[in-house]
Structure 1
Amino acid sequence: MSGPVLRERLTARLDGDYVVFLIGMRINKPWLVHKWWPVVSAMPRMQRELQSQPDSGLLHAETWFSRTLIQVQYWRSMEQLMAYAKNREAQHLPAWAAFNKAIGTDGSVGIWHETYAVRPGSSESVYVNMPAFGLGRAGELVPVKGRLASAAQRMAAGK
């Protein structure tokens, strides 16, 4: 879901700590559709589940599709992300078990994730001629002016 292009210079504001979670897959053997399609189709199910639960801690997610798929997720806390990952009644654990059973380390499909705990004053952002995007959708977009005019000032303002 996109939106109108916002022509002004904006930055994202998200008060307090938050988590950036990058997750994705790489299709190593495109002809083995039966291997990679279940992995591709698992993510939308998890996404719908999380979006239907506002208290899950997921703030926003953006997804890109190519040979390597990537989703960037913004979470309110590491505890909420880990609670979802370990929840036996959620979509994640069955998808992970199915991946390990069908693919494991056979090389047909790669999966990966990276997790970053972000503290106030340790990130900054700028958006120009963009619809609301990324951290700007997880938090609030504010004009880049005054004490937010430069990257250094935005970093200092968050401390």
Structure 2
Amino acid sequence: MVVAATVDPGRYTAAPDQEHVTVFLIGMRANRWWKLASVLPTVAAMPRKLAHLAKDPETGLLGYHQWLGRTTILLSYWRSPEDLQRFASAQDAPHLGAWRQFTKKSAGSGDVGIWHETYQVRVTDQETVYTDMPAFGLGAATRRVPIGRGTHTARQRLGREG
């Protein structure tokens, strides 16, 4: 699930095998970064969640990338929204407890903001290109194929041009 450091020369596009992919963006913002009692538990929750998901491919997580800073972003790809929701509500998974702790101790204080967005995308309605990149994004989460005849342009990759 972690990005490989090896650069693959050439141009590639993602070629998921399923009909839909669920794209989930989640993050937090340390609004008052000096309020460590609120910020640190929220920061510490994500590595536990990712470790749990990495141990079990049946959770439905296909892959992810993470960017850290005052505002963090985790971009993840899932088999389905149902898989994502199942993880979020599972009593034996680390998300529900962390969410309850956040809502009890930090939500409403203004110290830490959290956000998420979920998109279910038909693979025929997505277009990707990776040029001289390590495995990344949807191509790393599913599979990549070299760009070739009939896939040179974004219009072709979206099936909008013959």
**Which residue of 9, 13, 16 maps to 1:14?**
16
Runs of 4+ in 1 over 4 A off after TM superposition: none
Question: Using the alignment, how far apart are the partners of 1:9 and 1:110 within structure 2?
Answer: 38
Shift of 1:120: 2.6
Shift of 1:78: 1.0
Question: Using the alignment, how far apart are the partners of 1:30 and 1:84 within structure 2?
Answer: 28
Letter in 1 for 2:115: W
Question: Using the alignment, how far apart are the partners of 2:123 and 2:112 within structure 1?
Answer: 36
Question: Using the alignment, how far apart are the partners of 1:34 and 1:117 within structure 2?
Answer: 35
3-state DSSP of counterpart to 1:156: coil
Question: Using the alignment, how far apart are the partners of 2:101 and 2:13 within structure 1?
Answer: 40
**Which residue of 4, 7, 15 maps to 1:5?**
7
Question: Using the alignment, how far apart are the partners of 1:61 and 1:8 within structure 2?
Answer: 22
Question: Using the alignment, how far apart are the partners of 1:120 and 1:110 within structure 2?
Answer: 31
User: 1:1-159 residue pairs with structure 2 within 5 A?
Assistant: 1=2, 2-15=4-17, 16-156=19-159
Question: Using the alignment, how far apart are the partners of 1:85 and 1:103 within structure 2?
Answer: 19
Shift of 1:3: 2.2
Could you say what the CA RMSD is over the residues aligned between the two structures, in angstroms?
1.1
Question: Using the alignment, how far apart are the partners of 2:36 and 2:24 within structure 1?
Answer: 26
3-state DSSP of counterpart to 2:114: strand
Shift of 1:88: 1.2
Work out the percentage of aligned pairs sharing the same amino acid: 45
In the superposition, the TM-score normalised over structure 1's length comes to 0.95
Shift of 1:86: 1.0
Unmatched 5+ stretches in structure 1: none
In the superposition, the TM-score normalised over structure 2's length comes to 0.93
Shift of 1:58: 0.3
Unmatched 5+ stretches in structure 2: none
Question: Using the alignment, how far apart are the partners of 2:122 and 2:149 within structure 1?
Answer: 22
- Kindly tell me the number of residue pairs found equivalent between the two proteins: 157
